[in-house]
Amino acid sequence: MAKWSSIVAIVSLTVFLMSVMAATVLPIHPYLKVEDTFISKLYDTSNYGFLQIDNGLARTPQMGWSTWNFFACNINETVIKETADALISTGLASLGYTYVNIDDCWSRSTRNLKGEMIPDPKTFPSGIKALADYVHSKGLKLGVYSDAGIFTCQVRPGSLFQEKNDAELWASWGVDYLKYDNCYNLGLPPQKRYPPMRDALNDTGRTIFYALCEWGIDDPAKWAGKIGNSWRTTDDINDTWISMTTIADINNKWASYAGPGGWNDPDMLEVGNGGMNYHEYKGHFSIWALMKAPLIIGCDVRNITADTLKILSNKEVIAVDQDPLGVQGRRVYASGPDGCQQVWAGPLSRNRLAMVLWNRCSNAATITVKWSAIGLEPSISVSMRDLWKHEVISENTVGSFSARVNAHGCEMYILTPRRATRSSV
Ligand code: GLA
């Protein structure tokens, strides 16, 4: 009996490891002649795979909207309902933005006598269950927020040591997503504070997305994959060019840890909040998509402008973020003053590559990329599709590519190898 069970265990482990490896194999196109070691280093996924939580969620990065970046604590149930309506009427919901997430400040500052969290009676008089019912009736999902500490950052009740009861309450309301913050954490290590909520959510029997918000302090990419579906890698974003670019660079470091089931989270989008110009927001959105970041809209969707909608609803850029291969793209080359002329790239399913030419200089610049920098053999011919012009700009580009890019702007492409110029098929 014992012998059989060991054999079954070994076979299951082998099948599991093979499936994990299959899921992480890099798409080395048959035409590519670049040495494996080079490609593997360029698009390293070696830290992904063995530790991922598997609640069936986050096969691709989560998409939706959150209250925090625009509304902060000025929220109420009307805002949430109107935003759910606006996600539908703008077409954003049908592009995949389905989580409607209430961030901090939904709860009253004290629990009730039974120790339960209470929705703030002034701002959420109908309660969270009624809101969940409302967003569900629109085909959307509802998220709430709490904290792996004794208070949230805005000093509402936190869930540390109350994980089970809180998770059960949210599940009874029909909540689909939890963002779990890091304030007032009593100095206890996050590796001790975040798993109890994972277990509590699992025990509810409801499928609830678990988004860790530990701010990257203890390098969560290294341990959060077995706990949650995404983990913040940085401090809070704000609506400035310097904040957005700094955060992109920090998130970039953790690329090899991301993959289906668990994603690096460089924080919510600021697109549309007014602190950056059109080119800067276009770059913000393109780089977030290339990095397989969660795409959580952070502006007032009820009053969205045409430019903002154009950025957030670019289907081709969204498709890069949501590509089933799930490999985080990264910065592969930088030149110019302080390395401000940058090339970011990442492999996609069906042997394609996504590439962003990102001009972080304060003047327009011509950025040139050689195939070797993005892992292609020099003789490979590719067709190039421009994801902002929505057209194929070349059927046959070989060896390198150059484009003029606006100051603080970007261009984004998908490269599809067309044919080998050598007999390597
Ligand atoms: C922290 C988080 C933010 C936001 C606020 C709310 O700063 O990192 O994303 O949730 O708390 O208070």
Neighbouring CB atoms inside 10 A of 309's CB total: 17
Whether residue 236 lies in the annotated active site: yes
Residue 418: band (very low, low, confident or very high) from pLDDT cuts 50, 70, 90: confident
Residue range 63-321 in CATH 3.20.20.70: yes
- Given 181, 239, 300, 321, the catalytic residue: 181
Angle between helix 163-173 and 127-137 (nearest 10)? 50
- Give the pLDDT of residue 41: 78
Q: How far apart are CA 253 and CA 331, in angstroms?
A: 9
Is 181 catalytic? The answer is yes
> For 94-137, how does the pLDDT look when each residue is reduced to its tens digit (9 = 90+)?
999 999 999 999 999 999 999 999 999 999 999 999 999 999 99
* Alpha-carbon gap, residue 405 to 403, rounded angstroms: 6
Mean pLDDT of 415-425: 61
Distances (CA, A) of 246 to 34, 172, 323, 368: 31, 40, 25, 23
DSSP β-ladder status, 230-232 and 63-66:
unpaired
Tell me the CATH class for 330-419: mainly beta
Alpha-carbon distance 53 to 229, whole Å?
A: 7
pLDDT at position 45 is 86
Residue located nearest, by CA, to atom 3 of ligand 1? 236
**Whole-prediction pTM value?**
0.91
Which residue out of 73, 74, 182, 213 has the highest number of ligand 1 atoms within 8 Å of its CB and is therefore the one to mutate?
213
pLDDT at 29: 38
User: Where exactly are the structural domains of the chain?
Assistant: 63-321, 330-419
Residue 105 CA, distance from chain mean position? 23
